Every structure is written in structure tokens, then in C-alpha cells.
Structure 1
Amino acid sequence: MFDRGIEIKTPGQIESMRAAGLVVGQTLELLRGSAVAGVTTGDLDGIARDHIRSCGATSNFLGYHGFRGVICTSVNDEVVHGIPGKRVLRDGDVISIDCGAIIDGWHGDAATSVAIGQVPDDVTELMRVTEQALWRGIAAAALGGRVSDISHAVETTVDAAGDYGIVEGYTGHGIGSAMHQPPNVANYGRPGRGPKLVKGLVLAVEPMVSLGTAQTRTLSDDWTVVTTDGSRAAHYEHTFTLTDTGTWVLTALDGGESMLAELGVPYGGPSGA
């Protein structure tokens, strides 16, 4: 069902999205353990490809506007949309891995950043702040609220942590029977604006934060987005929905239950998720 262009899902459809989300979450967990010095980004793509297929799912990245991988692999100053290939990961790198999957026509989408060996302290802190901003954004969502409540929480979390660049021009999004749907979920803005948060709305929240500028450019491959000053970036993402009982993070293996508890937010998924 669509409400003013925004897709509202039934409980059964959200269950299918949870199934897709679990494939995504499991794939990212596998890749976190596989991303080590000496491995290529293409190796990681192969691991993801095999796992998604073994789960009976398909990739929503592969072939998307001609994209060649099942994951995006963005290293160091690459913010998003890095194409997996021959690049060898080295000690001190940070890689952001974005992954999606489809089950029964319903999509899941999530991302994580991984340190390769020992990284500088400021990079470790960048990753911590970006992930915290993701969860603070999700925690700010409540039935009857507005989409920009999420945006404002992301922005204030990053701003309070230090002098970071919140990447401009790229946002989170609605998700469901397509990977990218309205509404956009910006990573900055005033609260209380945008579409209302209602049951059946599913959103992907994805802060992208750099150690320097908020400005980016796209490389000649027409995909890879990098910071204009060469500063390192981090990217985290989860897909979530709101139920009568609280928040359910469809791409987190535990449904987000543990992190939501830390933030004092009611968990809205099934028990034992």
C-alpha cells in the first residue's frame, strides 16, 4: 500500500523484510571477520556473493544501474559506492562495506565500517561516533514523530563529538519492494519535519561521516564517492521499522534489542529475535 508515494507494509511483508535483513546482517558479520590485511575487496565480494546465494536470496546491488558487485567496498577516503576488485587491504586501512539482499521481492540494506589491523586513534573514534550517530538516529524515531527527528539526532550526535564532516548529498531512504524509495532520510536537519512515522513504514538510516570535509566528488568510474580533501570516512547503516511495542531493526541479528536497551528505547520485534 502506498500513502502519498510512501510504501506502507503489512506485517507479513515486514516479516519478509526481516528475512532479507537477516541475510544482510549475517553477510556483514561474515565480512567483518574476513576483512584482514592481504585480502582484496574482490575476495570480500566473492564471500558475500556465495553467502547471499546460499541463503536463497539475491543481491539488490548486483546490476543496479550497472553496478558490478554484490557489495560496495569503500576504503579510507572513499565514502560510499566503492567497486570491489583487485585492491588489497593493508594494515591501517578502514573499509566501509555496504550490503543488500532480496527475499520474496522484499529488500534489506545495511552497512558497517571495519578497521584493518591497527588504525590511528582518530579513525577508531570516527567509527565509534558514526555508529553511535546511527543508533541515536534510530532511537529518535517514534510513532507519530517525523522523519527529520532521525536526521536531527544523527547531526547532534556527530556535532557533539567533535569537528567532523557530515557528508552532504547522500541520505538514508525508504525501503521495501525496491531498495530506494521515498522518503529520503537526511543526516542533518531540524526535528519535526517531513513525513510522519507510522506503522508499516520501513527506513534505512545511514550516516556517512569524515574526519575532515563534508564535501565529496565522484571518481571517473562514475560510482566511487571520495572526500575532496582526502580525509578518511566511515559509513554505518541499518534498516528498521516501528511497531506497537517499539523499534525493530530488521538488519541487526538480534533485531537491535541490545543496543536499543542501552539507549532506553523499547524493542518492538518478536521475543528471541
Structure 2
Amino acid sequence: MIEILSPARIERARDAGRLVGTILRTLARRTQVGTNLLEIDAWARRMIEDAGAQSCYVDYAPAFGRGPFGHWICTAVNDAVLHGKPHDLRLSSGDLLTLDLAVSLRGVAADAAISLIVGEARDAQDERMIATTEQALAAGIATAGPGARVGDLSHAIGTVLAGAGYPINLEFGGHGIGSSMHQDPHIANTGRPGRGYRLRPGMMLALEPWVMADTDQLVTDPDGWTLRSATGARAAHSEQTILITEDGAEILTLPNP
């Protein structure tokens, strides 16, 4: 399903997006060496509930997962990159942490992710990888607008990722979003320009470039959810939810000033 939002629902989408961005920024600031992943999950739950919103993850049970996710945020550490299930782990200096949050507020969802280094960076390559996903995200957003095709966004994202030398996985990527977290169209992190669905004002999309340092192959943890690089290499992930407007794209998941 592809949704076109009405003006009233667009205002709700803006509220949901600001909430997601603000929670992520707050969590990133609170997280330090020694923080437990379960603490991050508890902080996210409290902020979501205090805002009168709902987590998109707690009851999330797609075919690729094992039962309901059961947590309020995804926390992926080092070689984990997607669907990281919070567990009893205290973060160490140099850990590469990805926080991925999707929230529904008054019937509209928003989704975003950030990667960050906890404490002191161990390797400049970690910072480079994070920066590359952020640059790829910016390229995809700059390409988005009415009349652009999904393949145009995929091509823009993939050009940055491949240009930096990273392999690109095509199993998981960006997606439409609206009354539910995951909708059509799928937005792969590389592709051919001029192909795919033509974007229209009122569409919401979650763009999410992610890479692993030396592979495009994933393995699944015994928890049935957490996806890691097959080689043990580190990974990074950046995501924003955007709204297609009459003249371009608006980023919805920026934090409150």
C-alpha cells in the first residue's frame, strides 16, 4: 500500500517526526561508557509513553523475525546493524552503536536511525563509515521530490556508498511509511535511475542507507532478530523520514530546536 497524506495527517506526521528526532537526540546524549542497552530501552519507553505515543516495535512480528520484538527501540552494537534487540550489555569506549526508533503518534508513524561512537573512537574507519551513510542519506533526500522515481533515490544513495568502497546489501532498505511503519515502495540502497514508482506530494518515505565495512552478507543472532555482518566487521546506519512536498522533500525526523 502507498499512502498519500491529507493536510491534517501531514501535521500529525510532523509531530511524530519531531518526537522521533527528539527522542533519538536525547538518547544519544544520555548514552555513555557503561550505559546498559536495557537502560536505553527503558528511557525510550518512558519518553514514548510520556508523549502519548506508541512504539512501532513492541508488537512488531514480521515474517523475518522471531515473534513480537518486545522492545521500544533497536540497539545494534559494533558488527550488528539492523533490528538489534536490546539485552543486558554495558557499552564500552569505542563501541559503535546504532539507535533505530519508530513511533506512531495520533495514527501516523515516523522512523529514524543514527549511529554514534561511545566514548573515544578506536578506529577512524568507524567515523568514516558513519559519515558515508549520512552523506548517502543526504544525497537520497536531495534527489527526492515530486516526479522523481524510486530508482533515482536508490541510485543517489548507492553512488555514495559504492563510491566510498562499501558493499551494498539489497535485502533491507528504505520504505514507505504512514499509518503503519513499513509500506510500499521499497527503496533499495542502490539502483538504476529512471525506474520504479514516481513520487507524489503527500507521500512519506523512510530512507535508510546502511553498510558493513567489508561484506554485504548478514547473519541472524540466536535471538531471531539482530542482524550482524557475516564477517564480524563493524556497521553503520543512518535514517530519516521525509515528506514529498510540491517542490521537494521535507525532513520530518529532526529534533525540536
Counterpart contact for 2:146–2:247, Cα < 8 Å: no
The partner residue of 1:173 within 172, 175, 193 is 175
Please state whether the residue corresponding to 2:115 is helix, strand or coil. Answer: strand
Structure 1 residue runs without a partner (length 5+): 255-272
Q: Which amino acid aligns with 1:39?
A: T
Deviation at 1:9? 1.0
Q: Does 1:129 find its partner at 2:132?
A: yes
Partners of 1:175 and 1:142 in 2: how far apart? 16
TM-score of the two chains, using structure 1 as the length reference: 0.89
Alpha carbons 1:168, 1:215 under 8 Å: kept:
no
Matched, 1:86 2:88: yes
Deviation at 1:252, TM superposition (A): 1.4
Per-residue deviation at 1:166? Answer: 2.1
Task: Indicate the residue corresponding to 1:48 in structure 2.
Answer: 44
Query: For residues 26-81 of structure 1, what are the alpha-carbon distances to aligned partners after superposition, in whole Å with 9 as ceiling and x for unaligned?
Result: 10001111121100111111111111111121111112110121100000000111
What amino acid maps onto 1:214 in structure 2? D
1:157 has 2:172 as partner: no
The aligned residue for residue 19 of structure 1 is 15
Aligned length: 250
TM-score, length basis structure 2? 0.94
Aligned residue runs from structure 1 range 203-214, under 5 A: 203-214=205-216
Q: Retained in 2: the 8 A contact 1:239–1:250?
A: yes
Alpha-carbon distance in structure 2 between the residues aligned to 1:33 and 1:165? 30
Contact 1:151-1:190 within 8 A present in 2 as well: yes
Q: 4+ runs of 1 displaced by more than 3 Å?
A: none
CA deviations 1:82-108 (Å, max 9, x no partner) are: 111211110010011000111111101
Aligned partners of 2:144 and 2:248 also within 8 Å: no
Distance 1:102 1:42 in 2: 21
Letter in 2 for 1:200: G
Q: Distance in 2 between matches of 1:94 and 1:165?
A: 19
**Partner Cα distance (2:70, 2:195) in 1:** 36
CA distance in 2, matches of 1:172, 1:63: 21
Identity of aligned residues (%): 42
Q: Which residue of 1 aligns with 2:186?
A: 184
- CA-atom RMSD in angstroms: 1.2
Q: What one-letter code is carried by the residue in structure 2 that aligns with 1:212?
A: D
- 1:6 partnered with 2:8: no
In the TM superposition, what whole-angstrom CA distance separates every residue of 1:92-148 from its partner, at most 9, and x where no partner exists? 100110001111111011000010112210001000011111111111112111011
- 1:116 aligned to 2:118? yes
Q: Which letter maps to 1:90? A: S
Structure 1 counterpart SS, 2:138: helix
Q: 2:200 is paired with a residue of what secondary structure? A: coil
Which letter maps to 1:10? S
Name the amino acid aligned to 1:130.
Answer: T
* 1:201-240 matches, cutoff 5 A: 201-240=203-242
- Of structures 1 and 2, the one with the larger relative CO (CA 8 A, separation 6+) is 2
The whole-number CA distance in structure 2 between the counterparts of 1:32 and 1:111 is: 11
Work out the CA distance in 1 between the residues paired with 2:82 and 2:75.
Answer: 8
Query: Contact (CA 8 Å) 1:35, 1:114: kept in 2 or not?
Result: no
Residues in 1 aligned to 2:91 and 2:243: alpha-carbon distance in whole angstroms: 34
Q: How far 1:246 sits from its partner (Å)?
A: 2.8
